[in-house]
Amino acid sequence: MDFENVLPSVADTLLTISGLGGFQYQARNLTQTLNLISEATDNERSVNGTLINLANPIFQKYKSKITCTDVDAPPLDGLWPGMEVTVDCAVLLCYKTGNPGSPGREGVSGSFYTQGNFTFYRPTLKMLVTSFSENWEEWKGDMGWTLDLEEV
Domain segments of the chain as ranges: 16-43+50-151
Q: What is the pLDDT of residue 28?
A: 73
Q: Is the pLDDT of residue 2 over 60?
A: no
pLDDT for the residue 54: 95
> Quick one: pLDDT at residue 22?
61
Which pLDDT score, from 0 to 100, does residue 77 have? 81
Q: Which of 91, 141, 127, 138 is nearest to 111 (CA)?
A: 91
pTM of the model: 0.84
Adjacent-strand bridge partners of 142: 137
Q: How confident is the model at residue 3 (pLDDT cuts 50, 70, 90)?
A: very low
pLDDT at 29: 83
- Residue 21 amino acid letter: G
Q: How confident is the model at residue 75 (pLDDT cuts 50, 70, 90)?
A: confident
The least confident of 3-12, 81-90, 95-104, 131-140 is: 3-12
Question: What confidence tier does 71 reach under pLDDT thresholds 50, 70, 90?
Answer: confident
Q: Are 120 and 131 contacting, i.e. CB atoms less than 8 angstroms apart?
A: no
User: Is residue 117 scored above 80 in pLDDT?
Assistant: yes
First to last CA, the chain: 34
